[in-house]
Amino acid sequence: MDYDFKSMMNEKRQKVEDLFDFEGSKVGRGTYGHVYKAKAKDLKDTKEYALKEIEGAGISMSACREIALLRELSHPNVINLRRVFLSHADRKVWLLVDYSEYDLWHIIKFHRTSKAHKKSVAVPQSMVKSLLYQILDGIHYLHANWVLHRDLKPANILVMGDGFERGTVKIADMGFARLFNAPLKPLADLDPVVVTFWYRAPELLLGARHYTKAIDIWAIGCIFAELLTSEPIFHCRQEDIKTSTPYNHDQLDRIFSVMGFPQEKDWPDITKMPEHLTLMKDFKKANYGCSSLVRYMEKHKVKADCKSFQLLTKLLTIDPLKRISSDVALKDPYFSEEPLPTRDVFCGLPIPYPKRDFIAEDDNDTKSNKSSLARVSTGGNTSDAKRVRVMQPGQQPNQQWFTHHQPSSQQQASVQQQSSQPQQQIIFTSNPSATMHYTVSSAQNLHRY
């Protein structure tokens, strides 16, 4: 390419540092890099933004998938990717999204810490209901457009602070998301098993190869239980999460200690799971005869006859084929009784949770493998490695607003193609017979095939 032309284009290309102030405003890490709180230098733009800096020379496969998906998605409860900046000088990539002041990991931690100090601890029931409703609404939109999130956990559920979208849930971190179709491709052939252990569905732990959107529903059930009790329902010791294989004895033991051992009448296909023989060798049903979700939740003062518990049992159904879907869950009687869910999960009340702290640039927030594993195990984030290059995508469609109890037909319709570069686009459709897969080819461009 002509040197003068390249120089001219470099001068014309808008640079992130020319448009936004973010120096000294690091607030944390995403899946693949640092996150900064940013403000536009244009004084007319008063919004707060988050800038994700992709670490390394290029972009990770995880970030590549997230960009490709977020460019096409538009829903009030899914994070809004506004822009992508590519710095040719140092090969850095920046993602610009709306800034969310809170996330469920910190909100639940706030209540758990209060509990340790014997203060009022429970997350308000109206807030729990509004949070759950908006999570389900966002996931229903993803599932209707053939997207599995695959890594739902409290740290990936953001909540907007004061402003126009105050108290609105944003589902974030789509780096592990995948498109799926019927018949479902065996994703386990392509990727290591994902979903943080504490939020991982039993079919994944037993080596299921054709897992479905039911894995997201199980994770939502885990988050719901955590909101109701301020404690992770299936927590396991940190050292038990080091393995990357699907089967994990200690995590299954924790699930059975809460739910009871699965009976074949409750889950007929359990005998078809790849790790079923290992399961029967490692576990004795008699050891879990006194375990049940009813007993566990009653210990946390959630009664079996309340509608919240009844919905929880549907979300945490052991058989993935019987597990409730997001669209049916949105119509559950739990959401019809007072207090009704609201678009501001804080219900207009003062927000008691501390805002995010700025982190010094020389802070090492992954001081050891142990601390990194600890954060992942409790629903936090860490970074991943393998990196490829990607070209700069276009802009995300305008964000809609949460105004109704059911996803609109527009949300489930085809999302319009945004760019003149079809090789980088993923087209969502409501046609279940359409084939929708994507890959990274030549380590540069995202292709659909």
- Classify residue 271 by burial, with Cβ atoms within 10 Å: 0-12, 13-18, 19+: exposed
Alpha carbon distance 136, 143 (integer Å): 10
Alpha carbon distance 268, 203 (integer Å): 12
Classify 118 in phi/psi space as left (phi over 0), alpha (psi -120 to 50) or beta: left
Alpha carbon distance 366, 449 (integer Å): 38
Determine which one of 98, 103, 137, 151 is catalytic. 151
Residues in contact with 265: Cβ distance below 8 Å, sequence separation at least 6, in sequence order: none
- 240 catalytic residue (yes or no): no
Alpha carbon distance 94, 122 (integer Å): 38
Secondary structure (DSSP) of 239-252: GGG---SS--HHHH
CB 254 within 8 A of CB 291: no
CB 318 within 8 A of CB 266: yes
| Residue 373 DSSP one-character state | H
Enumerate long-range contacts of 115-121, CB under 8 Å, 24 or more apart: 115/230, 121/230
Q: 119 a known binding residue?
A: no
CA distances from 358 to 93, 133, 214, 256 (A): 21, 31, 37, 40
Q: Are strands 387-388 and 59-60 parallel, antiparallel or unpaired?
A: antiparallel
Beta bridge partners of 95: 52, 84
Active site amino acids: 151
Q: Which residues are annotated as a binding site for ATP?
A: 52
